[in-house]
Structure 1
Amino acid sequence: MVDVWLEVEAHQLHPAAGAIVMQYLITPLIGGEQDQAIVDENASKLRAMFEIYEARLSWSRYLADDIVSAADLSHFPLMRYFMATEYAAMVEALPHVRAWCEDLAAWPAARKVAEVMPLDFGLSKKDEK
């Protein structure tokens, strides 16, 4: 089951959430303009994906079972950035997905990783130099 969720993250969730992160967080930092068509297309895909996650997490604390696994942890880096966009509301609306994200973010290792993952991708520090 771990392998299945790793594949789902890599080939379904990551491309869609990554596109939104790119449009909302990265594009403005590099002086670009957000492409709303890209955002809309990927938001639609994500809504469907998050419903699948909600169904799975409604009967299991984590994706592969009741024990955290690589399937869950592989989601953390992208979800950290995704949750900084206005589309985090999609996750907030789903109680099991929201609890899962909060649980992952509370792990000591995840907090350490988050410390080296600034929401500005370190770009504002480069501007200061």
Structure 2
Amino acid sequence: MAAPPVKLYGPPMSTAVARVLACLHEKEVQFQLVPLDMSKGEHKMPDYLKLQPFGQVPAFEDGSITLFESRAISRYVCEKYASQGNKSLFGTNPLEKASIDQWLEAEGHNFHPPSAFLILRLLYAPMLKLSQDENAMKENQEKLEKVLDVYEKRLGECRFLAGDEFTLADLSHLPNIHYLVNNAKKEELFSSRKNVWRWWGEISGRESWKKVLEKIDEGLALRR
């Protein structure tokens, strides 16, 4: 008898949820998406806090196993389902895994903070009644530009961040870049760097990401 599908909790519009969705599609893992309504505080309910003690998204269930934090979930999915889907997504030997991990860490520590700040302020500040701190906006954009300059050099040396194969290191960037390019009017940050722009065109054209975008569109339609 086939094992039940894994469960992923959270709205697909969330960048962290979208990251895991892309991984699940790349690995061809059967899953059930449980799209929490965060406006109703469903992510703060006692039952959900048993899965995600910080009351954030995503949360993940695989039978009796529960996990949170999108990058950790993605690594787990790649390791458990190593023999199916994209077998190169998290490497096939220690050196490949270390290379992927270092760029995945760069995404989490260097790319994500300034990009997430810009997304929050440019897309959600009015709704959340956040004041626009122009100095902070400028500072975070400059931080992001420095990261993209490093990427530009790296992507002039190889096709993808961790080498010549698409991996988690690339996948993890998809949600934030999508919102910056398509919603926050920050396309020029990427298009002005030819190697970064070539890379973005390639990774955003993957079938796995197109499926995630369908889920995002469905989620947005339900909110209208």
- TM-score w.r.t. the length of structure 2 is 0.52
Give the CA deviation at 1:116: 2.5
Name stretches of at least 5 consecutive residues in structure 2 with no aligned partner: 1-98
Give the CA deviation at 1:30: 3.4
Q: In 1, distance between residues paired with 2:211 and 2:124? A: 22
Residue 89 (structure 1) aligned to one of 163, 175, 188: 188
Give the CA deviation at 1:18: 0.3
Name stretches of at least 5 consecutive residues in structure 1 with no aligned partner: none
Residue 100 in structure 1 maps to residue 199 in structure 2 = yes
CA RMSD of aligned residues (A): 1.8
Give the CA deviation at 1:111: 0.9
Q: Which moved more, 1:92-101 or 1:21-30?
A: 21-30
SS in 2 for 1:116: helix
Larger Rg: 2
Residue 135 (structure 2) aligned to one of 37, 44, 57: 37
**Higher RCO (CA 8 Å, separation ≥ 6 residues):** 1
Higher helix share: 1
Measured against aligned partners, the alpha-carbon deviations of 1:59-91 in whole angstroms (never above 9, x if no partner) come to 111000111001100111111112132322111
SS in 1 for 2:213: helix
Deviation beyond 4 Å, 4+ runs, structure 1: none
- TM-score w.r.t. the length of structure 1 is 0.87
* Correspondence for 1:3: 101
Q: Give the paired residue count.
A: 124
Q: In 2, distance between residues paired with 1:80 and 1:114? A: 10
Higher strand share: 2
Q: In 2, distance between residues paired with 1:26 and 1:103? A: 28
Q: In 2, distance between residues paired with 1:98 and 1:21? A: 19
